[in-house]
Structure formats: C-alpha cells, structure tokens
C-alpha cells in the first residue's frame, strides 16, 4: 500500500515560472516543510539560489518583476491577509512593502513596462473596501491613485498600465461598470446590470478603446465578444460554445493578437482557435504527450521559450521546458514517488436529478476497476466547495488516496456549479439544503442503483460548502450515509452570515439572494442549518477546522460539535491553531488525512 504521506507531502519542485528574458527559471520547493522560492539558470546547469526562508507558512504566491526581482505574498496562520514582499534573484534585498496588521494586498497590474512600480489594492484605510495604490519598489512609497467610495469591487488598467475601469456594487445586488478615458478624469458609469449578469473585460485591444470581454448579457452561456469599453456596446461575437461557459483565452502580447479561446469540458479543455499557426503549435504539443493534457504554464516575453505543465487524472504532473521545433526537456515531476499505473481512473459520468436535470459528475475507482466491473464498493461522496465553483477532470491527491484505500469517490457538479450557464447556477440559489442537496443525494442513489456502491457503506465528505453538504447529508438523510467528514464547513447559515470577512460585507445583499436573507428567508435558513437540527444526526462525524479561518469561522464547527457531544453522538474534532480555510502546512495535512483514514476504515469497511 502506498504510504499516506506520499499523497500529501510537498512536491520537490512546483510552481515553475520563467523570467521575462528567458534566462532564469523560478520554482517553489520545500525548506523545513514550507514551500519557498528558488531560482536557477534556465540553461547550462548552475546551482539554484534560495530566495526565501519561510518556516511558519509557505509562500502564498509569487511572480517575476523584471529580470532581477521577484515579488511574493504571504499571510499569517491562514488569515488570508496577504502581505507583499520583494527579493532580488541573488537572494539579497528582501523587503516588505505592505506589512500591515489585518490588511489584505492584491495585485491590480504588474506594470510590465515600468521596471520599479506596480499597482496594488489595499483595504488599509477601510477593512471593507480596497483602494488602488501605485507602489514604488525602490523607495517603498505608496501613492493613492483611486480612493474607493465604498462600493468598488475591482480595478482594471489599459495596455499602458493606466487605471481605466472599475466594477462596483450599487443597490446591493446590481453591478456597475465604471469607465474613464484617462486617469485625469472621474470614473463614469457605463453599464448597470444585476449581479447575475456578467460583463468581464479581459484586455484592451491595441490602439483603441475596444476590449475583449466575456459576457452573458442576453444569453444563458457566456460568450467571448469584442466590446466598446466607453459604452459597453457589443461589437462582435467571437466565440460561444453550445454547452459550456467561456473559461479563458490565450492572447499574445508579443503579437498583439487573440490566438485561442477555451471552455472547460467534462474531460479537460476544449479550444477554439483564431490563428492557424497557433493551432498547429498546440496540436503539435498534444501529439507529443498522448493521453495527457498539456498546459502552457509560462513563456518568456518574446514567446520563444515555454514552460509546459503535462498531467492527467492519474499523475500530479510534470513541468517541461520547450522551444518550438525542439524536443521538450523534463524539468521536474511533481510527485515522482506516486506510480501512475497504481492510480485509479477518473471516469466522467452523467446522471439525472429528481427533476430531470442532467448532472455531470466524476467517478474515481480503485486501480483496475471500471464502472462496469465495480460492485458493492464502500464509497465516499465528495461535493465540491463554493458552491459557485466546479469539479474538473484531473489529478486529486485526496481522491487518489481514497481510491488507493479501496473506496470509490463520487464528485458531482450540482446546480449552483459554474461553467454551465446562468440558469444552471441560479437554479441553486437559496437551495443549499434543497435542490442542491437533492442533486448530491441523487448521485449517491444513482451509485446504489448501478450496484457500484454498497448502500450500507457510504460516507459524505467535503470542505467549505462541501463541509456544509456533508453535515446536511447526515442531518436530513440520516439513513443514506454511514458517516460524514466536515472540513471547514458551514453549520449554521445565520451565524455564517454574521462572521464573514469585512471585505465581503459590501456583497452581503448578493449573498442573501444566493443563500437566503436571515430575516425574509428566516424559516428557510432555519430549516436547512444542520446545527439547528443536530438531534436528527445518528451517525459518527469527523470535523476539522482552522482556528484562523476568515471565511468559515471556528464557531461554525464549535456549535456543531457541542450539539452532537451533548447528545452522545460520536464526533472527532480536530482544530489547528496555525491554519485558516483549509490546512496548508504539510504536518497538518498528514494529521487530517490520518484521522480520515482511521475514521473511514472504522465506519465503512465491513
């Protein structure tokens, strides 16, 4: 049996990026069990240089700024208040820029053509809103360039790095696009829509006020369009898929051309090409790695040298360096200790919900089994978080771990999931404990009807919203599931609304429409909050929580555990004081999955 730690230990190298001039490659690697930044020459060998020495928590993210400097973010104990730092690629000059308590930093624009400045957003003045600042990386000066009046949720620049667009909330549930021709002008509203409607500007087109945008205005599924930014008038539909929303584009800064658009299909990306040379390039890459999905992870500024990510459902993947016309060169495997032929396959499936809605799902089975040969397995039903997110085909350490222990794993894109159009997402509004849970339970019953699942040996497990689903599953369907694992999940919809992060408060009216209004929908929320119906639970639970979770407060887990223990229900409770919304430190992951392994073996194995 493959050791548990092999599924969850840090990769020896991951997160590769290439410098703009193509001369250096950066990556994350473990140092004292925390992921830190290293840099090495792209060619000719040479010793890597360790740039950061974080020991409390891994670097949260990083990026190149020019050819000689790297910017990175880190938080404290999982509080998600990210702080910005910089370091030179020789390991000198480490400097903090936004090391303020209880302040969150996000990047607006890296200002690629301005060597010593970036645009960032900070909620330093007011914890609920983010102002836009120009940061000088040499002096550390922060210059306020746009003060948030209280309703702006995002900022966007043009091709020259000028702040030209903002998105705002008006009337609680309506969104507004604001625009200006130059930074000397005030922003003016150009389009007001309901928050359920999407108009996302992606990039300004060269020498014009036109933008590429993804929108669902007047349609169910999003389309990629060319749009006039000052008026939001749609000029041309460039691409729309008949089944899925647009998930991304590939735009060449070097060529100043749109090359490709993609959607996320049930078994990976589906691409639409606007450039025949790029089509041949991508199809050539696919041909080099049959049976794998090839992603363009990064490129140098001239788009000569590329970093490729290559993976599938049975491997954490690998990075390659590549120049067109040459052979790919393996840089690193992300989990070389996991033998691909011993991993289970992830089978795309579909089933019908009670009301006839088609639900796309994934069934991962122990190695060697197929849906036709699997019979009476113990199964873990694993709804995703969000719920405004989706599961996709590919490798999952925890899913493969469970499959290696003999469990089937069912993941489903229930209504509320993104990528399937507006109607599908909105069908889950105010249905956390209703139609959404029915979709999940229908998938469980489908497995039973197919003979795949042993009806006496089914667990439900999830994180965040998935944790809510695990609690709701055993609360409202106590005979369907033998046990549950709740990982940083919501238990009480009333207290959840009261403890959201301050920067979510401007979105509270939207949240009321999506989940429910504590006053207008009081009875609905009361009826679907598992903590208020703990007396219905008859099966064992494992609950895991980060003490510093800013999204799902620890009180969500405390109240559930206390209610169960008062009634004598078996519940294991794991709290990590140095974690937030999910366990990121390696030793905490080990502890959680060890506890899960023991718990499932005790309650699912015959």
Give the residue from 197, 200, 244 showing the smallest Cα distance to 421: 244
Is residue 141 assigned to a domain? Answer: yes
Is residue 375 assigned to a domain? Answer: yes
Domain hosting residue 563, numbered range: 343-604
Helix (H, G, I), strand (E, B) or coil at 245: coil
HSE-up (13 A, CA, CB side) for residue 420: 24
Ramachandran bin of 66, using left for φ above 0, alpha for ψ from -120 to 50, beta for the remaining angles:
left
pLDDT in tens, 116-163: 999 999 999 999 999 999 999 999 999 999 999 999 999 999 999 999
- Helices of type H across 456-520: 465-476, 493-498, 508-514
pLDDT at 471 over 70: yes
Helix (H, G, I), strand (E, B) or coil at 487: strand
pLDDT in tens, 148-207: 999 999 999 999 999 999 999 998 899 999 999 999 999 999 999 999 999 999 999 999
pLDDT at 605 over 90: no
Residues 6+ apart with CB under 8 A from 85: 71, 72, 73, 74, 94, 95, 96, 97, 99
For residue 297, CA distances in Å to 268, 290, 337, 448 come to 16, 18, 23, 40
Tally of domains within the chain: 2
What b/e readout covers 456-468, taking b as 16+ CB neighbours within 10 angstroms? ebbbbbbbbbbbb
The pLDDT of residue 314: 98
- The CATH number for 549's domain is 3.40.50.1820
Q: How many CB atoms lie within 10 A of CB 53?
A: 12
pLDDT, mean of residues 552-559 = 95
pLDDT, mean of residues 48-55 = 97
At 592, which helix (H) or strand (E)? helix 586-604
Question: How many angstroms separate the CA atoms of 546 and 531, rounded?
Answer: 18
Question: How many angstroms separate the CA atoms of 571 and 543, rounded?
Answer: 7
Domain boundary among 192, 212, 235: 192
pLDDT > 70 in the chain, percent: 100
The pLDDT of residue 171: 87
- Helices of type H across 477-576: 493-498, 508-514, 522-527, 554-566
Domain boundary among 146, 170, 192: 192
Question: How many angstroms separate the CA atoms of 170 and 150, rounded?
Answer: 10
What b/e readout covers 554-565, taking b as 16+ CB neighbours within 10 angstroms? bbbbbbbbebbe
CA quadruple 409, 415, 416, 421: dihedral, nearest 10: 120
Tokens 């993609």, residue? 262
Any bridge partners for residue 27, and if so which? 38
Reported as a pLDDT band with limits 50, 70 and 90, residue 301 is very high
Q: What's CA 565's distance to the chain center, in Å?
A: 33
Residue 269: exposure state from Cβ atoms within 10 A (0-12, 13-18, ≥19) = middle
Is residue 443 assigned to a domain? Answer: yes
| Residue 580 per-residue DSSP state | B
Residue 67: exposure state from Cβ atoms within 10 A (0-12, 13-18, ≥19) = middle
The pLDDT of residue 324: 86
**Strands, E assignment, 32-77:** 34-41, 49-50, 61-64, 69-74
Reported as a pLDDT band with limits 50, 70 and 90, residue 392 is very high
Is residue 519 assigned to a domain? Answer: yes
pLDDT > 90 in the chain, percent: 98
Question: How many angstroms separate the CA atoms of 360 and 411, rounded?
Answer: 9
Residue 80: exposure state from Cβ atoms within 10 A (0-12, 13-18, ≥19) = middle
Reported as a pLDDT band with limits 50, 70 and 90, residue 606 is low
Q: How many CB atoms lie within 10 A of CB 210?
A: 17
Residue 39 · residue 51 · CB < 8 Å: yes
Is residue 133 assigned to a domain? Answer: yes
Average pLDDT, the chain: 96
For residue 65, CA distances in Å to 22, 251, 533, 595 come to 13, 20, 52, 42
| Residue 518 per-residue DSSP state | T
Residues 6+ apart with CB under 8 A from 283: none
Question: How many angstroms separate the CA atoms of 186 and 192, rounded?
Answer: 17
pLDDT in tens, 442-457: 999 999 999 999 999 9
Is residue 3 assigned to a domain? Answer: no
- Helices of type H across 159-305: 276-288
Reported as a pLDDT band with limits 50, 70 and 90, residue 408 is very high
pTM above 0.85, yes or no: yes
Helix (H, G, I), strand (E, B) or coil at 512: helix
Is residue 403 assigned to a domain? Answer: yes
Domain boundary among 172, 192, 212: 192
pLDDT in tens, 560-593: 999 999 999 999 999 999 999 999 999 999 999 9
Question: How many angstroms separate the CA atoms of 204 and 427, rounded?
Answer: 33
pLDDT, mean of residues 461-470 = 98
Any bridge partners for residue 575, and if so which? 545
Is residue 414 assigned to a domain? Answer: yes
């Amino acid at each position: 049996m493959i050791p548990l730690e092999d599924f969850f230990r840090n990769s020896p190298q991951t997160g590769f990026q290439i410098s703009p001039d193509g001369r250096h490659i950066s990556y994350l690697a473990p140092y004292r069990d925390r992921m830190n930044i290293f840099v090495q020459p792209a060619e000719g060998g040479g010793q890597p240089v360790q740039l950061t020495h974080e020991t409390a928590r891994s670097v949260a993210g990083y990026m190149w700024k020019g050819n000689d400097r790297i910017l990175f973010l880190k938080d404290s104990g999982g509080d998600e208040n990210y702080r910005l730092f910089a370091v030179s690629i020789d390991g000198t000059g480490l400097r903090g820029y936004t090391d303020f308590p209880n302040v969150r930093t996000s990047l607006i624009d890296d200002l690629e053509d301005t060597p010593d400045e970036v645009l960032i957003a900070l909620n330093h003045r007011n914890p609920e809103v983010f102002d836009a600042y120009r940061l000088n990386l040499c002096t550390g000066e922060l210059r306020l360039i746009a003060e948030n009046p209280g309703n702006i949720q995002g900022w966007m620049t043009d091709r020259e790095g000028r702040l030209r667009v903002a998105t705002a909330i008006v009337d609680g549930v309506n969104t507004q696009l604001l625009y200006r021709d130059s930074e000397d002008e005030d922003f003016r509203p150009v389009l007001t829509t309901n928050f359920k409607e999407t108009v996302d500007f992606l990039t300004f087109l060269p020498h014009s006020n036109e933008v590429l945008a993804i929108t669902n205005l007047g349609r169910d599924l999003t389309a990629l369009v060319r749009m006039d930014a000052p008026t939001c008038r749609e000029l041309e539909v460039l691409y729309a898929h008949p089944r899925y929303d647009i998930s991304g584009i590939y735009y060449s800064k070097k060529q100043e051309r749109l090359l490709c658009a993609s959607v996320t299909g049930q078994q990976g990306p589906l691409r639409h090409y606007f450039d025949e040379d790029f089509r041949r390039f991508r199809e050539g890459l696919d041909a080099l790695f049959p049976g794998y999905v090839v992603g363009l992870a990064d490129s140098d500024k001239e788009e000569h040298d590329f970093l490729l990510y290559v993976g599938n459902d049975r491997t954490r993947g690998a990075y390659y360096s590549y120049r067109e016309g040459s052979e790919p060169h393996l840089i690193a495997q992300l989990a070389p200790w996991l033998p691909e032929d011993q991993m289970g396959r992830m089978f795309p499936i579909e089933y019908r919900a009670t009301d006839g809605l088609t639900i796309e799902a994934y069934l991962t089975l122990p190695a060697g089994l197929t849906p036709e040969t699997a019979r009476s397995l113990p199964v873990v039903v694993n709804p995703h978080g969000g719920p405004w997110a989706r599961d996709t085909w590919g490798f999952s350490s925890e899913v493969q771990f469970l499959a290696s222990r003999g469990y089937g794993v069912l993941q489903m894109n229930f209504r509320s999931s993104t990528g399937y159009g507006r109607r599908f997402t909105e069908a889950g509004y105010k249905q956390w404990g209703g139609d959404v849970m029915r979709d999940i339970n229908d998938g469980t019953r489908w497995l039973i009807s197919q003979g795949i699942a042993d009806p006496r040996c089914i667990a439900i497990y999830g994180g965040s919203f998935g944790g809510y689903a695990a609690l709701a599953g055993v609360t409202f369907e106590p005979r369907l599931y033998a046990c549950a694992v709740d990982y940083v999940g919501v238990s009480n919809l009333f207290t959840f609304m009261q403890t959201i992060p301050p920067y979510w408060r401007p979105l509270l009216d939207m949240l009321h429409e999506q989940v429910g209004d504590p006053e207008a929908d009081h009875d609905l929320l009361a009826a679907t909050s598992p903590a208020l119906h703990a007396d219905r639970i008859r099966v064992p639970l494992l609950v895991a929580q980060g003490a510093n979770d800013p999204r799902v407060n620890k009180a969500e887990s405390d109240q559930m555990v206390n209610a169960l223990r008062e009634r004598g229900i078996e519940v294991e409770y794991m709290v990590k004081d140095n974690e937030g919304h999910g366990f990121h430190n390696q030793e905490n992951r080990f502890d959680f999955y060890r506890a899960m392994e023991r718990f499932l073996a005790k309650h699912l194995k015959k």
